[in-house]
A = this chain, B = another copy of it.
Amino acid sequence: MSTKITAVEVHDVRFPTAAAGDGSDALNRGDYSAAYVELRSDARDGTVGAGLAFTNGRGNELVCAAVRALAHHVVGLRIEDIFAEMVPFWRSLVADVQLRWLGPEKGVIHLATGALVNAVWDLRAKLCGVPLWKLLASMSPAELVATVDFRHIDDALEPQEATALLEQAAAGAEERERELRAVGYPAYTTSVGWLGYPDEKVRALVRAAVAGGWHDMKMKVGLDAEADERRAAVIRSEIGPDARLMMDANQVWGVGEAIERMQRLAFAQPYWIEEPTHPDDILGHARIARAVAPVRVATGEVAANRVIFKQLLQAQAIGVCQVDACRVGGVNEVLAILLLAARYGVPVCPHAGGVGLCEYVQHLAVFDYLRVSASLEGRMIEYVDHLHEHFVDPVAVTRGRYQVPRSPGYSVAMRPASVERFSFPDGEVWT
């Protein structure tokens, strides 16, 4: 039985979040949106592969258009043929002789690649009747390595090293799977500390979070220094000295400025500083990391591709790797980044929030624990309590832990009613 991809459909879905101040930070004030992709197939039961790229509102139409521009590399292929030779398939998307100029491997075109590639994996997992993490965890080291394009990263990690690393990590995977099924995967919450929220709202949200079982929390920083210090003091006083307090500057600082501002915030004992400066500035992150230690530097949500992650790791610029499930070119490139992070001993705490990112990254974190890092030390999945109600198989987070997903696929299939209602510009919400 082979299954052919017969069509690519893409929907411009936007949620009007900007007005509420949700998701506001030092540089973004978005209407959380998704370029939502459905792969139609000739499977007898009509199985659909779902993928999405998260965007911030305006410009979502560009990612949708990029999906259409790339669709010809996907339509007409058999899913079994794709998985028999994944690197040529992946390269057909990222090294299209004309579209590559628009990146390469970054921005609009790479977001579209991520949505398409993830939809292909979702389809595969659904056809196999397993969650994405389980599909990955069922693959041998050789099969996993065969999905990764090592071009431009083999100076840091050769295929043989990756295979050896996966072979070593395989021991105990079944026990870890039982553990996760029983107790879930640790998480932290970002829902308490957006810049758009006043201090007393922050205090109330932190108290509610602590009461709900949350231990570790993240706040946004980066604009007014005094306000950052005040809010940091509020949160630290509420969570106590032992909980982790993460800070996120969303790229707003220069290198020297980041170092100064973090000195002023040291009193609150931050666990990490996320996106302290421009996401392309590997050398800048490395300088900040040396200056603010033992506070870790974290980044990744807009790190364009595996080549950027490779260098962040080579330069010892990050202590936490925050890969995003759809910023890079889908599962294949995420695997490359998980392997690179393991090679350099840096924990992966995936970026989430937005639309569907929590649904996506739970699979990546579970797989990472089972088969790559084999450790939970310093690992947490981000959690934001927005917009989960629009997904067919939403995340289940209880008392600060993600429950392991059980439904087949990659969990980003959206409810048809939500797609219709929030479609831009013709959905009910926008007219």
Contact = CB atoms under 8 A, between A and B. Distances in A.
A311 B284 CA distance: 8
A337 B63 CA distance: 29
A425 interface: no
A385 interface: no
A102 interface: yes
Interface stretch (A26-34, A133-141, A204-212, A241-249): A26-34
Interface stretch (A39-47, A147-155, A164-172, A218-226): A147-155
Interface in A78-127: 95-111
A307 B285 CA distance: 12
Interface stretch (A251-259, A358-366, A399-407): A251-259
A295 interface: no
A279 B30 CA distance: 30
Contacts of A61: 65, 69
Contacts of A103: 106-107
Interface in A271-292: 277-284, 287
Contacts of A18: 98
A338 to B, nearest CB: 19
Interface residues of A, number: 62
Contact of A98 (B30, B105, B310): B30
A99 B283 contact: no
A201 interface: no
Given A27-B95, A100-B28, A155-B255, A108 B62 contact: yes
Contacts of A305: 280
Question: A69, A100, A280, A307 — which one has the most chain B CB atoms within 10 A of its CB?
Answer: A280
A308 interface: yes
Interface in A254-274: 254-256
A66 interface: yes
A101 B28 contact: yes
Contacts of A109: 59, 62, 107-108
A102 B311 contact: no
Given A107-B106, A154-B254, A287-B155, A101 B302 contact: yes
Interface stretch (A50-58, A345-353, A371-379, A410-418): A50-58
A297 to B, nearest CB: 15
A145 interface: no
A392 interface: no
A14 to B, nearest CB: 10
Nearest to A150: B254
Contact of A97 (B56, B98, B277): B56
A98 B59 contact: yes
Nearest to A151: B254
Contacts of A314: 283
- A-B residue pairs, 3 tightest by C-beta: A107-B107, A56-B101, A108-B108
